[in-house]
Structure 1
Amino acid sequence: MSQNLTLKHAKELDKSDTLARFKDEFYIKDGHYYMDGNSLGLLSKRAEKALHTSLEDWKEHGIDGWMDGVEPWFYYSEKLGGKTAPLVGAKKEEVIVTGSITTNLHQLIATFYQPQDNRTKILADELTFPSDIYAIQSQLELKGYDHEEHLVQVKSRDGYTLLEEDIIDAMKDDIALILLPSVLYRSGQLLDMKRLTEEAHKRGIVIGFDLAHSIGALPHNLHEDGVDFAVWCNYKYLNSGPGGVGGLFVHERHFGKKPGLSGWFGSRKDKQFDMEHVLTPAEYAGAFQIGTPHILSSAPLLGSLELFEEAGIGELRKKSLSLTRFMMDLLNQELSGCGFTICNPLEDERRGGHVSLKHEEAARICKALKAKKVTPDFRAPNNIRLAPVALYSSYEDVWNTVQILKEIMENEEYKQFENVRNVVA
């Protein structure tokens, strides 16, 4: 930070922001500062319209909505996959919108975890989201392996970040599959996916990534980088709504591989209604679908993706990095001596889309922020996550958020709250 930052500076940045117009696309309460888009993105008017379209198709056509109507449902997952593909750097055939992030994890681990000889272990890390670990443990046990022995978790040296060197060192001859986050959910660290994929493949190991905290916040190059598979949710930066349908990527070199978990929506489309008891899988990522698509939780994504097509993921990444840099500089300027530690990497190339703050009073500080119309995110044991989202956050929003946090700390307003998390944190 080379200058004293002011509200005037924030307003000047907003005035030159080429993406500022997208804020009007979202439903945002006056005087409210929403900094939790990395957990659940806000509703856009386009997403609302797309949902209404599917409701109208249901109302007008009933079951014929599968093939008729404004947005026929039978090919909906493929259409959404094609529109998502540019965000992950994939061919449209490599992406399908389906299931949830955890059911997709189960599907792809069941597909790609094929233990042979001494290669029986799965490599993950100790900082990843718990659901990923639960899925790995479950899949190991289903194949008759003790997860305490066959799940290897790379240790963090500081409790918040990982070193790629430590991950690479753990790629031993007994590793059959690797599953890692693209961005660590607590600290916001962005891993070098290309390097890790290259190192895994040198050793003959299949590697996949959980993109939950990166998709919609930054560009990816899954196809070019050679990533074997990936999964994600669409309700964070992609703003598809609570519990919105998930997505998955399978590199085209794996097309034709038998799905670990089979279901009728993995059928080749022209064969699906033949009702045969022998599955003829789709010849692309659609083969990894299991059940009937959840149309009403898929529809909002169609409207949301329109905004990403118009804004461009490259431009969104530039603004996201600028917003988080501005927030970090402000935190250092305004809250020095208040007990906060910035845990996310400071370098642009190693940072995802949110700022991670450590504080021993984190839970009660988050409650105090909510009481003053700032929505943060708490992650146990002592993390405050703040995500200024490029599509609908302004620099002035960031300025006001930090000023409110400063006021809370100076007046010790957080002390009126208990320092324990709510049931839903």
Structure 2
Amino acid sequence: MASTTPLNLVWAIKGILLPRIRIQLPQLAASLLPLRQLLSFPRHETKRSSPHRLLPPDLTRLHRPSSAPLHAPSSPEPRIPAASLGCPAPPEPRLAPARPPWAPAGARRRPAPRGRSINNSKHAMARHRGGGDLVRLLMTLLLAATPLLAPVAAELEEAEVVPTAPPQVASSSLARGADEGLDDVPADVRCASWRLAAEANNLAPWKAVPAECAAHVRAYLTGAAYRSDLELVARESAAYARAAPLGGDGRDAWIFDIDETLLSNLPYYADHGYGLELFDHLEFDKWVERGEAPAIPSSLKLYMEVLELGFKAILLTGRSEGHRGVTVDNLNKHGFHDWDKLILRTAADRKKTATIYKSEKRKEIEAEGYRILGNSGDQWSDLLGSSMSARSFKLPNPMYYIP
């Protein structure tokens, strides 16, 4: 916790305390009224008509000599210009002249008679009491403001520790588009733009398909467009695999994800709105345990070609270690064989994000001497992070997002 410095208190009083005092000024004035009456500040009565009220008290009590003229002479005493002496001109005095109006020009102040010293002492004591009254007033104001300073200091301490940058809040791009005057754009066009942004990883983290786009996503996944996109990714992956220079030592690896990469879970998502419903881990685990996920035909073809080219297939999935047996049976049933490694989540990996979990596993794979030349996955968390492959291929998936 950072310490509160005097400068911090100054800023706190300027930025926080003063607005509060302005708001609570009536209550503050009401609370100070009894204190003012209790202190009963002494006042010195002076006549407003007195011509000497601006003069020091000891000068106002001097007797005017009988021989002194009533008014100062009309021609003032000549003064030497300050510029001729090489020094700046002194500022004009703001107080009353140093001599009474009835004193002659050039008259000097005479010391007060001894009989007047008592009066001078009284005036000095009055001035001292006036200064003490001012100090008491300031102390009273400070004590009245003390309850306001405590929360100010606490807020100041928190402001020095808590970052001011707000956290990122995920929001619907479709709602923003409607606010920006895109109502004239057909819903299917807006949903196609949303799906493209999701595939390009341009959306903030999202948990479900927008309700407006549920029909669009269902039509895409069940139509020819989804199959065409999958086949295009597989063809480009195979072209890269055929051109990739292999080391010939059996250490060139290609990493595959499983769900929505090798096996399809469309039968499960067809019963759950194709991503419209929030993901339910328990329900999905029940589906996985059935072992009925079909293979993606284009991915199976790519898998077989990669093995024939001499790559080592490594399967890296987010499924738990407890589903190893059913996962192996599901893969073998649809023609996936001869992988070099099958890596699943252990209990120690359960709380890690997919990006961190798969990055750590890829680092371990590299530590074993493998060269990761290719990586296929339907989530950006399958591909991004550390120890990335020489080339990555993203399969389409507008149903869910895994960070």
TM-score range, shorter chain: under 0.3
Larger helix fraction of residues? 2
Larger strand fraction of residues? 1
With the length of structure 2 as denominator, give the TM-score of the two structures.
0.25
Q: Which has the higher contact order (CA 8 A, sep 6+)?
A: 1
* Higher radius of gyration, 1 or 2: 2
With the length of structure 1 as denominator, give the TM-score of the two structures.
0.24
